[in-house]
Amino acid sequence: MRLPTFPLTTTAQVLSEQSGPPDALGQSTRSWQPTGAPVPAAHFPAGSRITRQAQLRGVSVAREAYLQGSVNLNPQNNRLLIDGITYRITLVNEWDGFTVAGLVTEGR
């Protein structure tokens, strides 16, 4: 299955968690920083197929994103920034030519 390029109407920036300098109390700090170039993408409210997959895996999804190419995503170490909103990744599926990610907004 190949993902056509015409519905990829936006871009997704993969964010990786990075360690920062200690804060005033000496505690280590962490932040989400861009990794690599933005990837052509499309995102939609989660459909029934990805919602069922998430339920079987015991995670939640609110949106699904289609990213062009094989994008190495790790739900613990990556976030996606799409249209100015940071999403937490809860589910990743790799297909020939694209990656599908189940997403929830950060903090939920």
In tens digits, what is the pLDDT along the chain, a chain of 108 residues? 555 555 888 999 999 999 888 888 888 888 899 999 999 999 999 999 999 999 999 999 999 999 999 999 999 999 999 999 999 999 999 988 899 999 999 765
Q: How much is the pLDDT for 27? A: 87
Q: How much is the pLDDT for 8? A: 85
Domain boundaries, the chain: 10-20+29-105
Q: Which residues are bridge partners to 33 per DSSP?
A: 16
Fold of 10-20+29-105: Thrombin, subunit H (2.40.10)
Q: How much is the pLDDT for 23? A: 85
